[in-house]
Structure 1
Amino acid sequence: MPSQHPEKVGYGHVVESYVTRMYGGLPRYLVLNGGRFLGPRWWHTTRFTRHLIADAAAINDEELEALLGYEWRSRLTAGWLIGVDRRERFRARIGDLLLASEVCYSGGAYCFALARFGTHADAEILTAYLDRYLPRTDLRYDQPSAVGALLRLDAHLGTDHADRFTQPDGLWDRWVQALAHLQDSPRIHSRRTAPLDRPPVRLRQRLDPAVVSAGCAPVVRQRGRTARADRLVPPSHSASAPVWIGYAQPMWA
C-alpha cells in the first residue's frame, strides 16, 4: 500500500494535531508506542488520556484515513484513536494493514483496536495474522500483540481461538524459543523499517500496549537484535503462553 503525506489529500493538519502533540517533552506517538501513560507515576497521564479520548471522538473518518495512509507514526496513532472510539467501520482497513505489516510499530495499535471492537470478526483477523506470521520464527513483528489481543477476545467471547497457538510445544512456544537461537543470525528480521528515520534507540524494551488498554495485561516485548526468550518467559514458567503483567481498567473502558 503506497504511503502519501496527508497534505496531498487536503489534510495536512492531522499530523500536528493528532500525532506530534507534545506531552512532557514527548510527542504523542512516542508516548503511545512506549506505553508511558499506562503507569500511574507519569505526571502527564491524566492530561494525556483526557486528550486522547477527546481526539478519538473528534477526529473524522477522512482524517483517520489520511493518517492510515502515511508512515508508522501516523498509522500507530490512528490505530489507537480508532480503538479508543471503537470505530468498527475501520475493521477491514485495520485488518488489511495488520496482515500486510508494511511498517514498524503500528501493528500493536491495530491489535489494540481489534481487541476493543471485541467481536468474532476481530478474532478471525487476529487468527489469520497468527497463521501467517507465528510460523515465521525469523520475523519479530507483532506476534505477541496479536496473541495477547486474541486471548483478550477469547476471554470476552467465551471462545478458544488462541488455544491452538498457545498449547505446549505449539506455534507460540516455537516462536518464543527461536528468539534466543536467532538473535545473532543475519537471517533474523526485525519489523520493517519506517519510511522516514528509525525510532529512538532508547525504546529497546517496553510493555506492549496492544491489549493493556483494552482492559487486560500486556505482553512483555524486547526490542532490537538482543531479544531473548527468557525475557518473554521466565525459567519458572512454561513457554506455552505469553507472560502477563496486570494493570487496572483503563479510563475509556
Structure 2
Amino acid sequence: MPFRQPREIGHGHVVESYVTRMYAGLPRYLVLNGGRFLSPRRRHTTRFTRHLIDDAAAITDEELEALLGYEWRSRLTAAWLIGVDRRERFRARIGDLLLASEVCYSGGAYCFALARFGTHADAEILAAYLDRYLPRTDLRYDQPAALGALLHLDARLGTHHADRFTEPDGRWDRWVQALAHLQDSPSFTPADQRRLTDLQCTYANGWSRR
C-alpha cells in the first residue's frame, strides 16, 4: 500500500500536532523511539508523559489512521498513542502493519500496543509474527520486541504461546546465533526482552490511572 501524506486526506495538522512536538530539544517520535522517558529520573518525563496521555485520549480515530498510513515516525507515534489509550478497535490494523513490516522502527511500537491490549488475540498476532520472521536468520526486524510482548502476555494470561520459540536451541536461539553481532549481547535474552515490555506497560498503566 503506498504511503499517503496526511494533508492529502485532510489531516495536514497531525504530524506537527502529534509526531514532531518538541520535548527537551527532541521531537516526540525520537523520545518514544529512544525510550529514556521510561526512567522516572528524566527531568522532562512528567511534562512529556502528561502530554502523551492527553493526546492519546484526544486524537481521533481518523487522525490515527492518517498517521498509520504515512511513514515510520508517524506510525511509531500513532501506535504508542493507540497503546496508551488501549484502542482495541485498531488491533487488526496494528497486526497487519506488524506482519507486513514495511518500515523500520515502528514495529516495536506495534508490539507495545498489542501488549497493552492484553488479550489472547494479541498473543496470536505476536506468535504469527514470530512464526514468519524468526526463521529469517538473515535479518533483524522486530523479533526481540515481539518476543518480549508475547512473554509479557503469557505471564498476564497464564498461557505458554512463547514456549515453542524459547526452548533451548529453539527458534529464538537459532536466530540469535545466526546474527553474529547479537551473540554476545546480554540484552537479547528472552528475559531481557520481556523486562522491556514490562517496563513500557508499567509506565503506561501507572500514568493511565492518574
Q: Same fold (TM over 0.5)?
A: yes
Question: 2:178 — aligned with what?
Answer: 178
> Aligned equivalents of 1:49 and 1:171: distance in 2?
37
Question: 1:62 — aligned with what?
Answer: 62
Q: Find out whether 1:75 has 2:29 as its counterpart.
A: no
Q: 1:229 to 1:99 in 2, by over 3 A?
A: same
> Aligned equivalents of 2:91 and 2:182: distance in 1?
33
Select 2:192's aligned residue among 238, 243, 247.
243
Aligned positions, number: 202
Question: 2:9 — aligned with what?
Answer: 9
| DSSP-derived class of the 1:102 partner | coil
Question: 1:36 — aligned with what?
Answer: 36
What are the ranges of 5 or more consecutive residues in structure 2 without an aligned counterpart?
A: none
| DSSP-derived class of the 2:185 partner | helix
Cα deviation, 1:194-239, whole Å, max 9, x if unaligned, reads xxxxxxxxxxxxxxxxxxxxxxxxxxxxxxxxx33211468xxxx6
Q: Find out whether 1:136 has 2:136 as its counterpart.
A: yes
Cα deviation, 1:51-101, whole Å, max 9, x if unaligned, reads 000000000000000000000000000000000000000000000000000
So what's the TM-score if we normalise by structure 2?
0.92
Pairing of 1:138-177 with structure 2 (within 5 A): 138-177=138-177
> Aligned equivalents of 1:231 and 1:168: distance in 2?
17
Please report how far the alpha carbon of residue 113 of structure 1 lies from its aligned counterpart in structure 2 after TM superposition. Answer: 0.3
> Aligned equivalents of 1:42 and 1:80: distance in 2?
19
Write the letter of the residue equivalent to 2:35.
Answer: G
Contact persistence 1:176–1:232 (CA under 8 A): no
Contact persistence 1:84–1:252 (CA under 8 A): no
* Larger fraction in helix: 2
Q: Find out whether 1:230 has 2:184 as its counterpart.
A: yes
> Aligned equivalents of 1:233 and 1:88: distance in 2?
30
Q: Find out whether 1:97 has 2:97 as its counterpart.
A: yes
What are the ranges of 5 or more consecutive residues in structure 1 without an aligned counterpart?
A: 181-226
Question: 1:252 — aligned with what?
Answer: 207
> Aligned equivalents of 2:167 and 2:47: distance in 1?
41
| DSSP-derived class of the 2:160 partner | coil
> Aligned equivalents of 1:243 and 1:98: distance in 2?
21
Please report how far the alpha carbon of residue 32 of structure 1 lies from its aligned counterpart in structure 2 after TM superposition. Answer: 0.3
> Aligned equivalents of 1:232 and 1:82: distance in 2?
30
> Aligned equivalents of 1:84 and 1:175: distance in 2?
30
Please report how far the alpha carbon of residue 242 of structure 1 lies from its aligned counterpart in structure 2 after TM superposition. Answer: 4.1
Please report how far the alpha carbon of residue 179 of structure 1 lies from its aligned counterpart in structure 2 after TM superposition. Answer: 1.2
4+ residue runs over 4 A deviation: 244-248
Q: Percent identity over the alignment?
A: 79
> Aligned equivalents of 1:11 and 1:53: distance in 2?
21
Write the letter of the residue equivalent to 1:110.
Answer: Y
Question: 2:25 — aligned with what?
Answer: 25
